[in-house]
Amino acid sequence: MKSIAILGSTGSIGTQSLEVIAANQDQFCVSALAAYHNDILLEKQIEYFKPKIAVLVDKNAADRLIRRYSGSTIILAGEEGLLEAAVHEDVSTVLTSLVGFAGLKPTLKAIKAGKNIALANKETLVAAGELVTQIAKDNHVKILPVDSEHSAIFQCLQGENSKKVNRILLTASGGPFHGLKREELEHVTIEDCLRHPNWSMGKKITVDSSTLANKGLEVIEARWLFDISYSQIEVVVHRQSIIHSMVEFVDGSVMAQLGKPDMRVPIQYALTYPERSVTEYPKLDFKTLSALTFSAPDMVNFPILSLAFIAGNTGGTLPCVFNAANEEAVYAFLQGKIRYLDIFIVIRSVMESHEVNKQPDLNEIYSADLWSRAQAQEIIKAI
C-alpha cells in the first residue's frame, strides 16, 4: 500500500490522479491533499479519501472550510501547510501537480524528506533542473514523470542503456491553431485557445499548448529528466496524439509509446512503477486508426518554442526567466489585459533584458523569478 500526497488535488491532473487512486484502493491511500482555493471540491475529496491532512493555500478559503468541516482530517492553510503536506510522515510518494513556479519549493522539500516524486509540475525542472536533479540524486529519490510525453520516453527507456540514445522525439499535438499564420492569430480569443483538439487540461496549460510554450517547457524538462543535450531533443507535430513520444537509438531503431490521449494512464504508471496495473480506460483500436501524421513545428508563426530552446541552451537563470515571463503573460491574456500575440512579445522582452547568471544557487533562482515577473508586469502595462 503506497501512501500518496497530491499537491494540486483540485486541478485537472489532481482530480484525474484521485480517479486513478479510487480505482486502485487496494494499492493506494491518500494521506495528504493540497489545493489553492477550491474549498468546495477539496471538501468533497476529503469526505471520500479521508486524508490525514488537507491544505488550502488561500487562507480565506481555508477559513471557510474550517468553519463548516467537522471531520477528523486536519485542515491547514498557507504555504506552511503546503510544505507540511509535502513532507507528511505517512507519505511515500508526492504527486506534484501545482501550476507553475509555485511547485518548486514543496517539491524540493519533499525530495529532501526522501519522498519519491510523481512530477506533473514541469516548471520545477524548467526553473531549477540542475539543482533539483542533483538534490534528488543526493537523497536517493526517484523523479517519475507524469506528463504523457515524458512518461512515454521513460517507458521507452526501460531496460535500455540511456547512453545509446541518439535523440528523443517529443510529440506535440500542434494545439487548436495548427496551420494558422500570424495574421490569422491576431484576433484569437481566450475561448478559441481553450478548445484543445485532443486533451482536457487546465486553462494555463491549454493556452501554453496553443502557443507551443508548453512544448518548450517540456523540452527543458526532458533535458533534465533524461540527462540529454538539447541537440538530441526534437519536437515533432503529431496531430492525433496517439504516439506520445519516441526514442531513437544509435542503431536507428525507434521505440514509441502509444495510447489514447488519456492522462490517467501516465498518472497510474508513475504511481505503480515499476509495476503495471489493469485499467478500464478506453484502449486503442488499431483497426479504426486511419492515419498517423508527423510534421515539423512551425516556429515562425509560433516562435515561443524557439525562445524555449534559446533559454535551455543558454542555461543558468534564463529558463527560469522564460517560465516566469510566460506565466505572467498567459495570466494577463486570460484576464483580457493583452492580446494573444503579445504573449511572445512579453517573453522575448523579458529574456532580452535579463543578465544571465550561469551558475545560480536556489536563492538566485528565486530572485530571478521575482525579477522576471516584475519586468513582465511593466511590459504588460505598457502594451
Task: Look at residues 382, 375, 317 and name the one whose alpha carbon lies nearest to residue 347.
Answer: 375
Asked if residue 214 belongs to a known ligand binding site, the reply is: yes
Asked whether residue 35 carries a pLDDT value surpassing 80, the answer given is yes
Residues 80 and 126 occupy one common structural domain: yes
In the listed set 300, 333, 366, which residue is the last one of a domain according to the structure? 300
Q: Tell me: do 59 and 108 sit in the same domain.
A: yes
Under 8 Å between Cβ of 65 and 39: yes
Percent of the chain with pLDDT over 90: 94
- Rounded Cα gap, residues 290 and 187, in angstroms: 33
Last residue of a domain, one of 262, 278, 300: 300
Provide mean pLDDT across the span 80-86.
97
Residues 37 and 110 placed together within one structural domain of the fold? yes
Q: What is the pLDDT of residues 87-104, one digit of tens each?
A: 999 999 999 999 889 999
pLDDT in tens, 102-153: 999 999 999 999 999 999 999 999 999 999 999 999 999 999 999 999 999 9
Tell me, yes or no, whether 73 and 122 share the same domain: yes
Q: Is 252 annotated as a binding residue?
A: no
* 196 annotated among ligand-binding-site residues: yes
- Known binding residue 31? Answer is no
pLDDT score of 288 more than 70: yes
Statement to judge: residues 151 and 123 lie in one domain: no
Q: What is the mean pLDDT of residues 1-8?
A: 97
pLDDT at 135: 97
Q: Is 186 annotated as a binding residue?
A: no
Segments forming the whole domain that contains residue 28:
2-145
Is 132 among the domain residues? yes
Q: What is the pLDDT of residue 194?
A: 86
Q: Is 202 annotated as a binding residue?
A: yes
Within this chain, do residues 58 and 24 fall inside the same structural domain, yes or no?
yes
19 labeled part of a ligand binding site: no
Structural domain tally of the chain?
2
Please indicate if the annotation marks 323 as binding a ligand.
no
Q: What is the pLDDT of residues 345-370, one digit of tens each?
A: 999 999 999 999 999 999 999 999 99
Residue 322 is assigned to a structural domain of this protein: no
Q: Which of 277, 300, 323 is the last residue of a domain?
A: 300
pLDDT for position 199: 63
Residues 153 and 118 in one domain: no
38 is in an annotated binding site: yes
- Cα–Cα distance for residue pair 377/329, rounded to 1 Å: 8
Beta bridge partners of 3: 29
Cα dihedral 224, 228, 231, 233, rounded to 10, equals -70
What's the CA gap between 92 and 187, in Å, rounded? 47
> Crossing angle for the helix pair 362-382 and 342-352, nearest 10 degrees?
130
Q: Please, what sign has the CA dihedral across residues 19, 22, 27, 30?
A: positive
